[in-house]
Structure 1
Amino acid sequence: MISDLAHTTDTVVSTLLLMADRVLEVSRDGAIVNEWASPEGEGKMTPADSNALVYKLSYLVKACIDEKKNESLEYSITSGDTVSKYKVRVLSGQPGRMDNVLVAIELLSAKKVGKITELVWKQVLDASGDGMWDVNIPEQTISFSARWHKTFGHASQDIRTIADWVAMIHPDDRNAALHNKDEYLEDGMTSYRSEFRVLCSDGSYKWVMSKGMIVARDNDGKPLRFIGTHTDINAHRTAEERYFSTAQLLSKLINNLHDGVLVIDENKKILYANQMFCDIYNVSEHPSLLIGMDVYQSIASRMPFYKDPQRFYDRTVEVLTRQEIVLNEEWEMVNGKIIGRDHIPLTLGKDNKGCIWKFRDITVQKNTEKQLADLRNFYEQILNQIAADIVVFDDELRYLFINPTAIKNKELREWMIGKTDEDYCRVRNRSFELVERRRRIFDEAIATRHNVEWEEMLVNKDGEPEYHLRNHYPVFDEQGKHVMSIGYGLNITDRVKAQQELQTSRDTFASAFNDSGIGMALLSHEGMWLDANSVLCEITGYTKEELQRLSLKDITHPEDVNTYREQVERMLRREISTYNGEKRLVSKRGATLLVSFTLSLVRTNDGLPKFFIVQVIDITGKKEMELELRKKNEELELARQNLLNKVNQLEDLSHIIAHNLRGPAGNIKMLSETLLEQQTQRNNGEPAQDEVFTQDEALLLIHDSSMSLMDSLSTLMQITQIKLNKEIPKDDCDVVAIVNDICNQLQSAILEKQAVVRIKLDVTRVQYPKAYLENILYNLISNALKYTISGLVPEIDITTEMQDGHVCIVVRDNGLGIDMDKYGDRLFKLNQVFHQGFESKGIGLYITRTTVESLGGKIEVKSAPNEGSEFIVTL
C-alpha cells in the first residue's frame, strides 16, 4: 500500500509541474519536506524565493491541512525594485500525507518599479494601512508614522528610543523579536520579518507582522538606517489560535474517545480512523496508514474477529449498499467481547458523501444489564421476604407490585395486580370508609409531594386489635409528573404494646431509682451529673443540686480520673454495653471513698449516646476487711507451704536413710548371727563345722561395716541439717582466703597432675555460712582435679563476679566433662556416678546443690564430653 501511495504522489506532482514552475511538499509547521522544479522553472524562481513565499503563506498551509481543503490564490512579493506576482495552489488530503500539503507555485510576472522618493513610499505605506517605523541605529532612536500611532494609541512622545520600543513588546515575544532583528542586522539576512505582540495604550496587546530593510550604510558597510512597517494581524492570529485550539481539541477528543471511529468517503475509501478503532481490532499500524484503504478490504480483514464472520460481512455490505441508519447493533466476538456499532450516512442534498461507523466495547454494559436484571430479581426476592406490607401503585393508584406479606394468598395477590383498593375491599369484604380515608391520604401525599405516615387500628380475624404504621411515598419523573407511589406498611402491634410497657417500666424505674438502697445517678456522656438519688448524695456528701453543677471528674480521686476512660470509649463504640469496677471518689468533706462503680449506657432511638446509668456502692469498710483477711490468708498459706516442704523433705530423708543404711546394717546383722551360731555350736559340744569367718575376720568385717554405717549417718545428718533449713548464721567470708586454703588442702593432687589453677576474684567478700561455702568450693575444685583427661595438663579457672545484684562463683575446667543430653536430668541426684574408674560415691554434687538451694541460690552447669565443665553458683 505504501508503494501505491508513493506512485500516486509522483503522478500528482508530475501533473502539477505541467502548470507550475515549482512544487513543494510542506509540513504543518511550514518546513519544506520535498521540492520539485520544472525545466522552465529552474531559472524563474530560486529556492530562497520558495522559502520566503512559504513563510508568508504558513497560515494558509495550516488551514488547508486542518480543514482538509484546497486553496488557490495570487500573491505578490516586492524585493528591492522588483515586484513578483505568483499563482499559488495548495492541495491537501494526499494519500499517506495527511499532515502535509502540496504547494504548486507559478511565476506570473516580475516588474521593475524603479526608485520611489522617500516621501512617496511613506505615503504609500501609510495609505496601505500599515504603520511605518524608522530606526536611527547610531543614535538608538525610533519614530513611527501617524498611521502607526493611530493604530496603537500611543502619543509620539511616548516612544523615542529603542529601549522605549523594546518595553512595548510582549515579554513572552521579546527575546524572539530582538533575535530576529539582530540576525538581520548582524548576519546579513536577505530580509527581515518577525511577528510579535505590541502593547497598546489601553493596556491590551496586538499581534503585528514587522517587515523592514536597511536603507543606509556608512563607508564601512555598517547599517545606519533601518525602516519598515507593522501590519496589524491581530484578528488573523487570534482566529488562527482559536482555530488551531479548536482543531487540536477536536482531534484530541476523537483520538481519545472510548469509541472506535471510522470515516468512509463516497468512493468507499477509508478517510479517517482513530486509535480506538485500531485497538478494538488489534491493528498494530498507526491509524493514518489505514487512510485510502478500500472499505471492503477492511471489512474482510475484520471477519476473523467475529463469531459469525460471514453474517458480519453480509450485513455490513448490506448497510453500506442501502446507506441506512443503523444504531446499537450488537456483535459477539470470538474473544468473548460484545461490540456495539452505529452507521450514520453522510449526505449533502441527494449526494452521498460517505458515512461514519462508530464502534464501542459494550461487554461491560451487557454484563451490567444482566447483573441489573439479576439484581432486580434479587431485590424482588428480598422484598418478598420482608415481614412488612410493600406495594407499588401506578399514577392512578392501581397495584403494580404486592409482596406476600401484604397479601399472603398467591392467587389473590396475582389477581390484585392492576386492581385498586376498591377492588381489594370488595374481595376482602372491607369497609369502603377505609378506602376513602386512604384515598384522601394518597391525594395529600401527591399534592404535598412528600411521604405521608399514619397509623391504622384494625381488628384481626380473632377480634383482637392490631396497629399498623402506614407510609405512602409518591414518586415523580424529571418533569414533575406523578408516575408511581410506594406503600409501606408495618405491623406495630408489638411496638405499641412495648410502648405501653415502656411507660410502665419508666414508672417502675423512677420508683426503683429514688427508693433504691444503693447510690444511683444519671450521667451525661460528657460526664456531667444529670440526676442522683438520696443514697448517692449521702455517700458523697453533696446535695443533688450541687452534683448537677459538677462532673464525675470533679469528685474522682486524681489518680483514678482516667481509670475507666477506655471502657467508656468501648461502650460508646458499642463494643460493650456495661462495665463494673472499683474506683476512688472524694467526698465533699475531702475523704477518700472506695466504691463499686457500675456504668450502663442508654442510647436514643437513633442509636446516639443519651446518658449513663450509674450505680455506686460504698465498699471502703468492706475493702479494708478484705485486705486484712487476704493478709491473714497469705500468712497461713506461707506457713502451710513451709510445713509441706518440711514433710516432703522428711519423706525424702526417710527414703535416703532406708537406702543408705540397709547395706551396712544388714552386714552387721549377718556377721553377728554367724558368730552367735558358731559360738552356740561350740558351747553345746556339737561337732565343729567349717567356720565361715574366724572371730578376727568377723570383727574386722563388723568394724568396716560400722565405719561405713557411721559415714552414711554423718552424710545423712549433714543432708538433714540442710533440708530442714535450720537458721544458719551467715559469716563475712573472705573468698580469697577460702580458695587459697582449699588449694593448699589439694596441693598434693595439684602437684601430682601438674595442674594449672588460675584465680580471678572480682568479688572478694560475701555474706554466707563459711562452712557451707568451703564445702561448695571444695567439692567443685576437687571434682575438677579428679576428672581429668590422661595426658592433658589440667587447667582450672576460679572466678567471682556480680550479676544482677548477686555474687556468681564459677569453676571451669578442661577435663572429661559430662554428656548433658544423656545425664543432664540425673546430674544432681544422690548416688549418681558418670565416670568409671574413679573413687566416687555420687554424693558431692547432690550435697552441693542441696546446700546452694537451701540458702536461696542456684547452680547451673555447662558441659560436654572431653570439653570440660563449667559450674556457675549464684549465691
Structure 2
Amino acid sequence: MKKPNKRLLYAIELSAVALGIFLFGTYESIRRAETMEQWVAHTHNVLLHTGRITLLSVENEINARNFMLTGYEKYTEQFDRTRAAAQWELRVIGALTSDNYHNRLLFDSVSLYVTKRADFSARIISMRRAYGLDGSVKLVQSGEGEGYAEKALTFIRRLEKNENLLLAERRAGSDRASATMNTSITISMLFVILLVGMLLYRARKNSVRRGALIEELERSEANLHTIFDHTDMSYVLIDAEVKVVSFNKPAMAYSKEQNHKTLEVGQSVIDYFPPSKRQGIRETLKKVSEGATIRYEYSLLQADGSLKWFEVKWVNVTGINKQHRGFILANKDITEKKVASLEREKIITDLIARNKTMEEFTYIVSHNLRAPVANIIGLGEILEILDADSPDREAVTGYILSSVNDLDQVVKDLNQVLQVREEVNEKKEAVFFSDIVNEIRSSIPLISSKNTIIECDFSEADHMHTLRNYLYSIFYNLIINSVKYSRKDVTPMIRLKTARKDHLLEISFEDNGKGIDLEKNQSTLFGLYRRFDYSVEGKGIGLFMVKTQVELLGGNIQVKSEVDKGTEFRIVLPVGELEKQLVTTGAR
C-alpha cells in the first residue's frame, strides 16, 4: 500500500506545481490581453480622429462656399469654429502618432494640406467680402485651390491604411492573447478538477493528511477564483448535463442585472435564458458538445432605454480521452467598443454624403450659376453700347431681369437645401402618420382633382418620435410625385404601409403611376436638379430633399419601379436607442 500512496503523493505534488505554473501563465495571459486591448483602442482613436479631421475639412469648405453663395455671416462663424476644431484634431493625431516614424511623416503631409485647404477657404471668404460673389467665384474657378483636398485625403487614406493594417495586426494579437488566456483558464480549471479528485482520494486513504490536503485544495481554489473574479469576463462552468458547476463574480453580477436571477450551482443553465431563446441555446450547446466553438454578439435593452452590447463564447470541455465533459460560457461587455464602431461607421457614411453634397454644389456653381451670371455680364455690356433712346434698351433690360430672377431662384434653392441641415437639431416630437397624410390630402388640390385614392396601413406602427418638418416634407414630396407622375386615364392609387422590426421602422410608398426607367436614371434619381420626365413641371429638388432628410434622420431609402406599372419607395428609419447612437453621433 505504501508504493501506491507515494505515487499518488508524487502525482499530487506534480499537479500542484503544474497548476501553479498555469495559474501564473493565466495571470500573464490576462495582462497581455489587456495590453493588446489598449493598443487596439489606441489605433481606434487614431482612425476616429482622422475621420473627424476629414469631416471638419469638408465642413470648412462647405461653410466657406455657403458664405460665398449667400453672404450670410453665420457661415463664417461656423467656419472659424470648425477650423479651430480641425487644428485641435491635428494636435491630437500628432500626439497619437508621435511614436510611429512612418505615420509621423504621413501626418506632417496631412497637416500641411489640411492647413492649405483651410487657408484657401479663408481666402474665398475674404474675396467674397472684398469683391462680392463674382470675385470669389473667379477665385474658385481659377483652380488655385485644386489639389489640396485631394492630396490631404490621399495622405489621410494612406495614414488610415497604415493604421488599419496596424489595427488588424493588433486585433490578431489581441485575439491570440484572448485565446491563450481562455486556453490557460480552461487548462487550469481541468487541473483543479484533476487535483481535487486526487486530493479527495488521498484524503479518504489517509485521514492523517486530510486537513492539510483540504487546506491546500482551498488555497488552489482561492487562487483560481481570485483570477476569475478580477477579470472583466464573465465565466460559467457547466457540466455535460448543462447544469451550473461554478461561476465568477462578474457572471453573478451579469445574471442579477440582466436576467434578474441569482446564479445557483446545480441549476440548468437553460433556465437563465428567455423562453424564446432556449431552443437556439440548446442547438448551440449541441454544436459545442460536438467540438465547435461558438462566438457571437448580442445587445440588451436596459431600463433607461440604452443598449448594452455583449460578446459571448461557448467552449467545449473535454477529458483526456477527448470525451465531452461540459462547457465554458464566457461573456464580455463590449458596449464601448461597439458604440465607437457605430460612431466611426456613421462618420464615414456622413463624410461620403457630405462629399457628395459638395459635388452637387460644385455642379451648381459650374452650371446653374454660370449661365445667368454670363448672361447678365453680356447683356450689361450690350446695354453700355446702346444709345439712351435706343428701342432695344427695354428688351435688353428685360433679359437682364430674367437672368437675375434665374440667379435668385438658384440661390433660393441653395438656401432651402442648406436650411434642411440647420433643422436637424430641432426638438423632436411624437408624429402620427395619419395626421400627416390628412394634412397633405387637404393641402394639395391636385389630389382631389385627379380623384386620387390613398390607402394607409399603419397597424404595425402609427407614429414615431422625430422631426415633424422632416417627416412632413418626406411624405409630401413622395405623395405629390405619385400624383403628378400618374398615368393618363388611370385613377392614381397610392398605398402607404409601416412595418416595425427590432429598432427599425420601415415606411413604404407604392403607386400605380408612370414608373421610372431605373436602368437609365438609377444613378441620378436623387440628385439635385436632376429630372427624368419633362412632361410635368418641376425643378428636380423633391427627391434630393427626401433622400437628404432621410439620411439626416439616420435612415436610408430604396426604390423599385417598372415603366407603366408604378413605383415603390421604401424608407428605413432607426427608432429608440439605435436612433440615438446613429443620429446623435451624426449631428455632432
TM-score of the two chains, using structure 1 as the length reference: 0.30
- What TM-score do the two structures reach when normalised by structure 2? 0.42
Instruction: State the structure with more CA Rg.
Output: 1
Higher strand share: 1
Higher RCO (CA < 8 A, seq sep 6+): 2
